[in-house]
Amino acid sequence: MKRAIELAKKGWGRTNPNPLVGAVIVKDGKIISEGFHEVVGGSHAEVCAINNADTSVAGSTMYVNLEPCSHYGRTPPCVKAIIEAGIKKVVVAMIDPNPKVSGKGVNILKEAGVEVEVGVMEKEAKALNEIFINYVVNKKPFVIMKTAMTLDGKIATFTGSSKWITGTEARRYVHIIRDRVSAIMVGSNTVIKDNPFLTTRLENKEGKDPVRIIVDGKGIVPEDSNVFNSSSKAPAILATTLSIDKDKEKRLTEKGVKIIKTEGEHVDLKLLMDELYKINIDSILLEGGGTLNSYAISSKIVDKVMFFIAPKIVGGKNAVTPVEGCGIDKMEDALEIKNVSVKEFGNDILIEGYLEK
- Residue 251 counted as an annotated binding residue: no
Euclidean distance between the first and the last CA atom of the chain, given in angstroms as a whole number: 32
Distances (CA, A) of 34 to 16, 123, 129, 239: 21, 22, 19, 42
- DSSP-derived 3-state class of residue 295: helix
Q: State the maximum Cα–Cα separation within the chain, in Å, rounded to a whole number.
A: 69
- Residue 15 counted as an annotated binding residue: no
Q: 46, 249, 263, 352: which one is catalytic?
A: 46
Question: How long, in residues, is the chain?
Answer: 357
Q: What is the Cα–Cα distance from 90 to 45, expressed in whole angstroms?
A: 13
115 among known catalytic residues: no
- Residue 44 counted as an annotated binding residue: yes
Tell me which H or E stretch contains 344.
Answer: strand 337-345
- Residue 194 counted as an annotated binding residue: yes
Q: Are 64 and 21 in contact (CB under 8 A)?
A: yes
- Residue 310 counted as an annotated binding residue: no
Task: Assess whether the previous peptide bond of 17 is cis (omega < 30° from 0).
Answer: yes
- Residue 122 counted as an annotated binding residue: no
In 3D space, the residue among 258, 266, 340, 273 whose CA is nearest the CA of residue 305 turns out to be 340
Binding-site residues:
44, 69, 78, 148, 162, 164, 178, 190, 194, 198, 201, 287
So which residues are the catalytic ones? 46
Binding-site residues for Zn(2+):
44, 69, 78
Binding-site residues for substrate:
162, 178, 198, 201, 287
Binding-site residues for NADP(+):
148, 164, 190, 194
